[in-house]
Amino acid sequence: MEEAKQNKTILVTGASTGIGAAAARRFAAAGWNVILADINREAGEALAAELGDCALFVLADTRDRSAVEAAVAAGIACFGRLDSVFANAGIHRRNRLLDISDEEFDLVVKTNIYGTVNTLRAAVPAIIRSGGGTVVINSSDQAFIGKPGNFAYGLTKGALAQITRTLALELGPEKIRVNAVCPGTVRTPLVDSLFERVSAAGDTTPDELWAEENALFARGRAGEPSEIAELVYFLASDVSSFCTGGLYLADGGLVAG
């Protein structure tokens, strides 16, 4: 059966590449308008051009609350309303408690936690004005398990899981459902750059690192952005109308074993 087209608008942060771009394509294919917010102007504008009139790119760093507010305002001026937000923007750095610098700790926390909170502060009031809607937060399998060498990243993703639970209760009366997608490793430019940094610091190639990573999953491989985008779409759309406060794994079986 052909999927019914939706006349809704979603804000996607970190929208230019990886999971964000895959989600933007998924929503556009379903007839949603998509506000693409990212710090990568070239990739963002290219994606907006690819998607056509249903997409608007706005240059925005989520660490700057006013920039996200401007993105929301621009999107509403273009499309008339906001029904959902996918708070996706984030970064990853490998570190441990005993070796992380103050600068790197601040960078990860301000991007992953402050950036998400800024996004929600900007988007949620607009969703309320539209009569309700949905929030999807990009957390991680590290909301469920610990991984050595991921001190700051795991800390922030655990915080996003708790934000999801709390907001589901706070925003329920406003007719807003809040859920989190919790991916395992996904083949994205973010992970590629991480493996390149790890490889440069040691004697392992990125291909060897990917082979080691793929072997961790019951599926025999890491995920693809389009697979996570399907779960994001499910959680943002009306087909998941009884789902709120949930942390939804898409991890290839990693946490199961």
Backbone angles phi, psi at 198, to 5 degrees: -65, -40
pLDDT at 1: 36
At residue 205's C-alpha, the angle toward residues 203 and 210, to 5°, is 130
Per-residue pLDDT at 11 exceeds 50: yes
Determine which helix (DSSP H) or strand (DSSP E) holds 48, and give its type and residue range. Answer: helix 41-51
pLDDT at 176: 98
C-alpha torsion 172→166→21→153, nearest 10: 180
Residue whose tokens read 């996003």:
160
Mean pLDDT of the chain: 95
pLDDT at 190: 82
pLDDT at 220: 92
Q: Which two tokens stand for residue 18?
A: 């990886």
Per-residue pLDDT at 6 exceeds 80: no
pLDDT at 5: 59
Residue 68, CB-side half-sphere exposure with 13 Å CA sphere: 29
CB atoms within 10 A of CB 7: 11
Per-residue pLDDT at 48 exceeds 50: yes
Alpha helix positions (H), 110-243: 115-129, 151-171, 189-200, 206-214, 225-236
| Percent of the chain surpassing pLDDT 70 | 98
Q: What's the one-letter identity of residue 16?
A: S
**pLDDT band for position 42 (50/70/90)?**
very high
Cα–chain center distance at 108 = 15
Q: What is the pLDDT of residues 143-160, one digit of tens each?
A: 999 999 999 999 999 999
Q: What's the one-letter identity of residue 144?
A: F
Per-residue pLDDT at 3 exceeds 60: no
pTM across the whole model? 0.94
Residue whose tokens read 């008339």:
80
Per-residue pLDDT at 83 exceeds 60: yes
pLDDT at 202: 83
**pLDDT band for position 201 (50/70/90)?**
confident
Question: How far apart, in Å, are the Cα atoms of 4 and each of 1, 229, 230, 237, 239?
Answer: 9, 18, 16, 11, 11
CB atoms within 10 A of CB 220: 10
Q: In angstroms, how far apart are the furthest CA atoms of the chain?
A: 55
Least confident of 30-44, 65-79, 183-197: 183-197
Among the listed residues 114, 153, 233, 248, the single catalytic one is 153
pLDDT at 2: 40
Q: Which two tokens stand for residue 99?
A: 């070796």
Per-residue pLDDT at 247 exceeds 50: yes
pLDDT at 47: 98
Catalytic-residue membership of 153: yes
